[in-house]
Each structure stands twice: as structure tokens, then as C-alpha cells.
Amino acid sequence: MAGTAITDTALLEASRAGNRQAFAGIVERYKSLVCAVAYSSTGNIGLSEELAQDAFVAAWRHLGDLKDSSKLRPWLCTIVRRLAARSLRRMQRDVLADAAPFEDSQAPPKAGLTPREAAMNKEEETVLWRALEQVPEAYRVPLILYYREGQSVERVGHALGLSADAVRQRLSRGRRMLKREVAGFVEQSLERTRPGKDFTLGVLAVLPKLASFGAAAPGKAGAPAARSGGLRSLLGVKQAVAAGGAAFAVIVLAAAFYLYASRPDMSKLASASSHHLILASEPVMEPAQDRFNDSPSEEASLSPLPADEAPTVATEPQQTTGKPRVIHFPEDRFLGTLSVQTRPMSRRYRLGPNYDWFDEWEYLGPAQGDVTVPADMPVRLSVARTALRDLSPLSELGPYDLSGVYISYPRSSGQGSGEAILRHLRGLTGLRILYLCNVDAAGHSLGFLENFRELEELQIVAGYFDNSSLRYIERLESLQALLLTGGFVTDAALAGLGKLQLLRELQITADNIAGPGLTELDSIKFLKLDGAMYGDEALRYLKEMDSLRSLTLFGSTFQLSDKGLAHLSSLVNLEELRLVHMRTITDAGIVHLLPLRSLKLLDLHNNPVTDRGLAHIATMQSLEDLTLPYTGITDAGLACVAELEGLRRLRARGNCPADPTEAGAFTDRGLVYLSRLKNLEELVISSGIGITDMGLEYLAKLPNLRRLTLMANGLTENGLAALATSTSLRRLQVNGPITISGISRLNALRDLEFLRAGPAVVQDYSGLNLAALTKLENLSISCHGEGLRDEDLACLANLTRLKWLQGIGGSALSDRGMAHLEKLTALERLNIRGDLITDKGLSYLANMRAMNHLSVQGNITDRGLRHLENLDALRNLKIDSPYPFSRATIERLFRELPCLNTFNGESIGYGSGPLPPTDDE
């Protein structure tokens, strides 16, 4: 590696002296990387090459600013990212940006396409980018390089300064994020878009021409930064190359002659004899230097990093072997529970709403002794309450043993000390997710994370953070998602997060931020703001956030009005907008949202918008996801919604009247309107007796409806029979005057994964039958009156995929009914009550090692609690019994269940605080 560093130094020294031949070596060496970064930032192949050429010209003019040759790669990447961001901003403001030049419109038709044009037409390029855009940049850039560089892991590693194992890991994750049906197309397309030899020649041809315009010599202080578009305005290199113009050939020949005539004595370049300095085809790169200077000013954006900010080289990850591995935890203490990620992340944004998060992780076992982990599965540790006293065993783990760590301090114990916690985590440098709840992370606490070069997600929830915290966070160069609630920071500190080139998601709650700091966050795609200081004035700063795709404004304290919504009209790339609990916006404000032609999701949760506002929304044909206000919407509003042909998700919760005789906001007529939405996949709707069985017949015919939440007082078992004819339903929640036999009608929905019925299911003694729903993972049935019986639970015995079982109860429910649950060892949450359940009933739960939440009402004694002592993952326990529990039994329970946070609603501190009082004291 030292030889390569000397080579870069030699190239830079010669280039600073005006040697364009040496600079050609720099261009050829880094063109693939710079083009890949540009394409990853813009999604436009032609534009990316033009911006990459602009970046090299800008670098040529500012070579004197780069003092450390080891920073050459990140310096070039910083330049091209800045140019890409400015170019996108300019294109969005220029309504003629996509118009063809006048000369092109006058040109005669071409006889045929050039090979380059034939390689990638506009439609293919659009499909290619839509596939790649879903992949985070940390994995997207390696993918682009891999397919452009002949599928060579070594070349990608050299270009990015990563080990082969790290490259393979990122490629594997990136491929998993690509949709299977387009993966082959992406591979073939990228192979054809590698920058050719004309790229370097184009840069060289322009350098003399720029010099003739009076540009300062390379390295001179005060040289103006090259603007994106400089090359295109002077020559149009890429277009000239593609056209094979004679003028371009003359310029290239002149440039080549100039290079030959002006070549220096290359013997003066250290170690130059062993390297091809002219158009070197396979250069060797030095180790990764991924931290970029990201100052908001143009001049500073071309400057190298100060020496004291140079990054340290992270420890290389363990090689992916495809074999199980062993993590060595202490034998004599329990650190918490382990989970493995069995499915890729299903949500688009890490910090976005997702109701199926538990599907991604499965319980593995206790973090104690030697633990075998399945091959290539990320591992998450949820630290136990008792382990919070001493986290030093975590310092004995390997850097890549854990993928995620979750630490939550009980509120009754006060906030945990960030320094005391994080000093023991500093060796886990391969950590990707860190979650801290009720932890004081102010001051220098986060300094222990300085070597966390792989950290992608950091959440500090209900804790405390300050400006110092953000100064350490801005050094976490791999960070993609950041959540901060409960702190105090200024706009200046917030602006520092703009240095994080990969940061795409930010959720922050802070009352003292006015908004100016948001202007520097030009890479953020997901933003959620909550705080009393935010208001109309703050929203004007969002205009500069061109990368923003998802925006959530939350809270009744957010001082937003219709006038403030006008500031959002310029966010033409915005795809998701959530205005939650905004009681100060009206129908008139909705008009300001009409220019958002890319908007796919609109959430008007608990806002005073009415049918009149929905008439405006009906023209927003890009919408796919819509949440309506609780009140003010009727069937007339649903008629407007039915005009949104592409709508996939609709939430029209309304209000289910307390009076069972009221019609409610929506009727069957409204469902008839909604039956026109053939693309609808999810529907949430509630009303009174206005929705009947007839309306459900229309819903059952929707061909793509997968999720249905229905709350209405006009339903019977005949309506559920109609729903049972659906071939697409996977999740169903129904609330109305339904019976046990009505629920049994749903047994025909063999692919159902989620079923919730209640809270007033009527027991008709027909016998519950859901035995065919073997794919069910979440079940809740809440009855009133006598409730469920033992025989009703018999059908649950073979539903072994169940993870959540709730609302189960009845006055006649006994230990015999509990026995039907014994095989449900995947259960993570159980809520059951029965007047006849005894200690023996708890014995049937003894092997449910994944259980983390348990609530039982019955006749339980001290003896019964002994059956729960093997439930290592149990965090919340509630036992409602007429018999008191002795202090000795409770103390034993907490010794055996170190993850337990609450018992009978009382939060238990992690230290030596008192246990909750018992009835016998």
C-alpha cells in the first residue's frame, strides 16, 4: 500500500507543476469511482459522466488546496457529490431543464444510433434507476462499481479502499435489496455503462481550453471553483465524443501533442517506473478514506480534511463463511436476550412506520455462555435489566459479534450514564444499529463511538443530547438513520450533520430549533420534526432540501397554518407528507399541496379537513396512500377518493358511534364508491350501522385487497361469510356485533396471517373453528359476557406459527384450555384470563422461551410462578390473582428472569432499589 501512496503523491506533485500527463493518470485511476458516485447521486448516466468530468476539472484547478495525497479519493468524491447536488437543485428550478436544445431540434434525423446510444435508451435507464434507487448509497456504489468493473471484487475493493470481505458483504446486502425480477437487468445494464477511454480524453481536451480563458494555474490560492456545467458550456465533451465530431478530434490531437511536448522527466517521480502513469487501466488504491469535508461554502467544498480530522482505519469484518459461528458470552452471568434477523427490512425507511417489524427478527436465546449463531445472520442483543449494573463483559466481545445493541434504562431508575455505558461498547466497531433509551448522551459520551465505521442507525430515545453530542455524531460517516428525542441543540449544531454524506433519515424532537440548520442537510430523504418552535417560518428552510422524499410534521404544538403549507409547494420531489395532529390547517391549505406531482402518501390524521378539501385531493393522481381525518368526511368525500385510480392504501377511520343505532359517517354507498379502486391493497374504515353485510360484498370483490380493518355496527355473520370469499386477504381486523360462528366462517381464508376480532364478540356456543388458518401469526378474540370456553381453544393447538395471542378469556376457561396452548412455543406475547386457571395452567407455558410479554388472570399462587422461571426473554409480566405473592417468591422471580422490567405494572430499577410491595407486607 505504501507504494501506491507514493504513486499518488508523485502524480499530485507532477500535476501541481502543470503536468497534464500525470493528471491523466489520476483521471484514469479514479474515473470509475467518481462516475459511480455521480450516478448514485443523480440517477442519470449521461449527467453523471458530465458531472464527473466537471469534478476532475475542478480538482485540477484546486490541486494546490490538497495537502495530503491520502485524502485524494474522498476529496474527489466530495467534489462530485457537491456538484451533483447543485446540478439537481438547478434542474428542479429550471422549468426548461428537460427541454431539448434548439440546435438539436433543428438537426436532421440520425441515420442510426451510435453503439453508446444503443446500449441504453431512456426507458431502460429509467427502469435501471428505479431499481437502484431503493438501495442505500452505502451498498449502491459498490454494486455499480462491481458490474461496471467486470464483476471484480478486487477492483471494487481497490476503488473503495475496502477489504474483499467487506465488499462481498456490501454486495450481498445490496443484491438482497434489489427486486429479484430486475436484478438480471441491472447487471446487464450496468455492464454497458462503464466510462470509456473517451472520458479521460475529454477531460484532457478541455484543460488547455479552460487555461486559455484565463483560469488560474493549478494550486493557486483563490482560484474559483469549477461550477457544474462548466465543461458542457465550453465544449460539450460527451456529446462531441458520441457524435465523433471533427472538431473534437482536432482538439484531442492537439491535447495529445501538448501532453507529449510538455512531458517532464518522469524519472523524478518516485517509484514511477513501476506504474503506468498514462491511462493506467488497473490502478492499485490505498486504504479507504471515507470521511469527506462537507462545508457549505463552494470554496471549502474543494478543500482537504484537516490533519486532526483524518479518519482511523476500521477493523476488517469477519469473513463471510456461510457457516454457523459462535459468540462467547460469560458463563456466570446473563447479559440479555439475542435475536437473529431472518428477513430483510420490509419498510422503506428505517425510521418510518412499520407494523410488521417483529417479522424481521426471531428470538435466538439467552446471551450467556457460548451461543451458536446460524450462518450469515445478523445478531441483536437486548441488554437485560440486571446486566445494566455492569456492562464490562461487552468489552470482551469481538468487533463484529453483534449487529445491533438495544439498551433501555427503566424510568424509575433515572437516566443511565452515557459514558458508563458506551465505554464498554467501544470495541464493537462493527455494530450497525445502536438503540439507547432513557440514557444521558450529552457531553463527551458519544466520543466512545468514534471508531464505529459501520454504524448505520443510531436512536437516542427519551434521553438527553446536546450540541456536543451532535459534534460526535457528525463523525459517524456510515450513519444512514438518526433519531433524537429529548435534547437541546442549536441550528448551528444541527447544520453539522450535513457532513454525513450517507445520512438519509432524521427524526428530531427539540423545541429550540428554529429551522436554519435544516438548509445544510442536503442528503436527507426522510425527515420527521416535532417541537413547539417549529412553525410556518421554519418550513421556508425546507425549500433547500431538494433530496427530501418523506416529511412528517407532528404534534399539536407545531405552529403550522395554511400559509405555512405554501412553503412546501416547491418540494416537487416529495413522495410522502404526514401532517399529524395539525389542528390549524383547513381545506384552503390543501390547495398548496397540488404542485406536489410526485406525492404518493398523504396523511391528514386528526386534521380539520372536510369533503371540500378532498375534492382538491382527488386531482392528485400520483397518490397511492391516503389517511383521512377522523371527522368531517362523509360518503361524498369517499366519492372524491374513488377518483384516485392508483390508490393502494386508504385509512378512513372516522368515528364508530357509541350509540349502536346511529348510521355513522359512512354507509354502504361509500363502499360502493371504493369498490372502483381495483388497485386497493389496504383499507381501514369505521362507521355505525350505515355499513352492512351488503357493503362487505363489494369489498370482497376487490382483487388486490390484502389488509382490511373494519369497525361497523351493522355487520352479521353473513357479512363475514362474504369476506371469506376473498382470495387476497392476509390481515383482517373486524369490530362489530359478530358471533363465534361468524368468526368460524373465516376459516376459509387459508392464507390469513393476522386476525383480530372484538372487543364484543358474542358467544353462541357453536364452537370456535380456525384450525385451517395454519399461517396465522397474530390472533386476538375478545368476547364479552361468558367469553371463550376450553373447547374453543382446541382449534388453536396446531397454529404453531402464532407469535401473538391476545384477548383470550372467559369465566369458564380452565387449565384444560391452557393445555391446548402447550405446543405454541413461538409465542412472544400472551394475554389470557380464566376464572378456573390455576398453577397447573402455567406449567403449559414453561417451554415458551420466546415469550417477552405475559399477562394471566387466574387463581395463581407462589408455586405457579416457578413454572415461569425458564422464560429468559420475559420483560413484562402481569399476574392477576386473588392470592398474594410472598417477597421471597418475587425476589426469586427477578433473579431467574433478569430481563424482567415490570411486574404487575410496577417498573423495576436496574440497581439495588426496592422491589414492589406485596400484599403480605
Cα atoms in the 13 Å half-sphere on the side-chain side of 524: 32
How far is residue 549's CA from residue 528's CA, in Å, rounded to a whole number?
11
Query: How far, in Å, CA of 906 to CA of 880, rounded?
Result: 13
As a whole number of angstroms, the distance between CA 790 and CA 410 comes to 38
The domains located in the chain, with CATH, are 508-609 (3.80.10.10), 610-737 (3.80.10.10)
Separation between Cα atoms, residue 904 and residue 921, nearest integer Å:
16
| Rounded Cα gap, residues 694 and 715, in angstroms | 9
Q: Which helix (H) or strand (E) holds 740?
A: helix 740-744
Q: Which three cell numbers stand for residue 597?
A: 406531482
**CA–CA distance, 464 with 484 (Å, rounded to integer):** 8
Long-range contact set of residues 859-864: C-beta below 8 Å, sequence gap at least 24: 859/835, 859/883, 861/885, 862/886, 862/889, 863/839, 864/838, 864/839, 864/840
Residue with cell 440486571: 386
Nearest by Cα to 696 from 727, 665, 717, 679? 717
Q: In the chain, which residues have pLDDT < 50?
A: 1-6, 95-120, 181, 209-319, 355-358, 909-921
Cβ density class 429-444: b for 16+ within 10 Å, e for less? bbbbbbbbbbbbbbbe
Degrees (nearest 5) of the Cα angle 722, 726, 731?
105
Q: Are residues 823 and 850 in contact, defined by beta-carbon separation less than 8 angstroms?
A: no
Cell for 437? 433509551
Q: How far is CA 809 from CA 355, 484, 833, in A?
A: 25, 40, 4
CB neighbour class for 265 (10 Å; exposed up to 12, middle 13-18, buried from 19): exposed
pLDDT at position 200:
81
**pLDDT for the residue numbered 347:** 76
pLDDT score recorded for residue 556: 66
Return the pLDDT at 583. 82
C-alpha cell at position 901 = 422490567
First to last CA, the chain: 72
Tens of pLDDT, residue by residue over 57-78, are 988 888 888 877 778 888 898 8
Radius of gyration of the chain (CA): 31
Output the CA torsion sign for 376, 381, 387, 390.
positive
Q: Could you give the CA distance from residue 853 to residue 876 in angstroms, rounded to a whole number? A: 5
Q: What distance lies between CA 214 and its chain's CA centroid?
A: 47
pLDDT at 887: 87
Please tell me the predicted confidence (pLDDT) of residue 732. 97
Q: Using an 8 Å Cβ cutoff, are 337 and 363 in contact?
A: yes
Residues recorded for the chain? 921
Q: Which residues, in sequence order, are bridge partners of residue 433?
A: 404, 457
Which pLDDT tens digit goes with each residue over 94-140?
544 444 444 444 444 444 444 444 444 666 667 677 777 767 777 78
